[in-house]
Amino acid sequence: MMTEVFDKLRTLQDILSQKYEIEREIHDIPKALTTKTELLNRLKKSYIEKNAKRERINEKIKSLRIKLSDAETQRETYEKQMDQITTQREYEALDKEIRDATEKEQQLRKDILREEKELEEINATLEREESMIQLQEEELSAEQEKIKNESAQKEEVLKQLESEEKDVIPGLDEDILFKFERIIRSKSGVGIVPVKASVCTGCHMQLPSQFVNDVRNGEKILFCPYCSRILFYSESEIAEDAYYFQDEDTGSLADLVDSEE
CATH number at residue 18: 1.10.287.1490
155 in the same domain as 92: yes
The Cα–Cα gap between 130 and 47 comes to 8
The whole-number average pLDDT for the span 80-103 is: 91
Residue-wise DSSP of 45-102: HHHHHHHHHHHHHHHHHHHHHHHHHHHHHHHHHHHHHGGG--SHHHHHHHHHHHHHHH
Would the pLDDT of 258 be above 80?
no
Domain that holds residue 200: 191-260
Would the pLDDT of 218 be above 90?
no
Last residue of a domain, one of 136, 153, 168: 168
The whole-number average pLDDT for the span 81-109 is: 92
The whole-number average pLDDT for the span 70-74 is: 93
> Is 114 inside a domain boundary?
yes
Would the pLDDT of 257 be above 60?
no
> Is 175 inside a domain boundary?
no
126 in the same domain as 197: no
> Is 245 inside a domain boundary?
yes
pTM of this structure: 0.56
88 in the same domain as 22: yes
102 in the same domain as 71: yes
Confidence class for position 169, pLDDT limits 50, 70, 90: very high
Last residue of a domain, one of 168, 199, 228: 168
Of residues 233 and 55, the one with the higher pLDDT is 55
Would the pLDDT of 244 be above 60?
no
Q: What is the pLDDT of residues 14-25, one digit of tens each?
A: 999 999 999 998
228 in the same domain as 159: no
Would the pLDDT of 255 be above 70?
no
99 in the same domain as 20: yes
Would the pLDDT of 159 be above 90?
yes
Confidence class for position 28, pLDDT limits 50, 70, 90: confident
Share of the chain above pLDDT 70, in %: 89
pLDDT at 59: 96
Structural domains in the chain (count) = 2
8 in the same domain as 134: yes
197 in the same domain as 82: no
The Cα–Cα gap between 141 and 187 comes to 37
> Is 185 inside a domain boundary?
no
Q: Which residues pair with 194 in a beta bridge?
A: 232
